[in-house]
Amino acid sequence: MRHNLFYALLLLLPGRVFAQVKSGNPIFPGWYADPETAVFDHQYWVYPTYSARYNQQVFFDAFSSRDLVHWVKHPDILDTGAVRWARRAMWAPAIAEKGGKYYFFFGANDIQNDSSVGGIGVAVATRPGGPYRDYLGHPLIDEFHNGAQPIDQAVFQDPADGTWYLLYGGWKHCNIAKMRSDFTGFIPFADGTVFKEITPESYVEGPYMIYRKGKYYFMWSEGGWTGPDYSVAYAMADKPTGPFQRIGKILQQDMAVATGAGHHSVLHIPGTDDYYIVYHRRPLGETDANHRVVCIDKMVFDKDGKIMPVKITREGVDARPLR
């Protein structure tokens, strides 16, 4: 607490002569990927995938920080012991806070067809750092709809009317669905569709959505997750259901810094128009597909609301204590 207070005061000093404190990249040690980010209880939180072989991906860790620089690890917030139907490949968390509870969405088992056990599940806790327990006792989505593998879920609440949406999908297909207010299932759209496909050009996986100044920004990962071409692109629309036309890439490798930059989330500083992109990448020289680390860099919009290409860095971002 003392060092966080020190840095907060330091950053407020006018005309300070001290060097700015930076997060550095990666922001915490270890092989992790697919980071979800949020602000809870005046702290930043990151929920990543443990990056290892599928049979070793049987738990989730979380990380919290008060300033984006100093991170605390919260180990094993959810594992297969708490989810009887999950046995491997626990991936790509998404999280939502509602009514004083924290709902943790995750993929498990990497199912390949509708007869396999697994898909997208939900866990719940009373604290952001868990421990989490299985909420439903079964997957929320356990079948393929519109060709989308049930993985890589993202949760989005529409500020226009409070509706909660789930976006998800691997195998180059993305669906959006309206969730019930208790997150136990889905509400059909006006046309009777439950899972509406919104797949844009070049989509592969890792969907994410934010709302800014009347526009819905839909982002996703392109390329192969094991290769250097992994990257993030985006589209904009007037509704969360689109239609979405690809605008271009905003995040990709820099051969002077790292490769395989992709599968991101977006951190919005409350009460500001400041945004950061939190993503994984592969350090130069690493050839193991699972050697991925979590990084953070600034995400900036131009005067027309377009997202400018992100410069990936080794330095990361300035310390940003929450006020």
Residues 6+ positions from 200 with CB-CB distance below 8 Å: 174, 218, 220, 233, 235, 242, 244, 245, 246
Buried b (16+ CB within 10 A) or exposed e, 11-20: beeeeeeeee
Residue 64 bridge partners (DSSP): 45, 72
Q: So which residues are the catalytic ones? A: 34, 205
Contact 188, 194 (CB under 8 A): yes
- Encoding tokens for residue 129? 């750092």
HSE-up of residue 154 (Cα within 13 Å, Cβ side): 29
How far is the C-alpha of 283 from the C-alpha of 256, rounded, in Å?
A: 10
Nearest Cα residue to 31 out of 264, 292, 296, 314: 292
Cis peptide leading into residue 228 (ω within 30°)? no
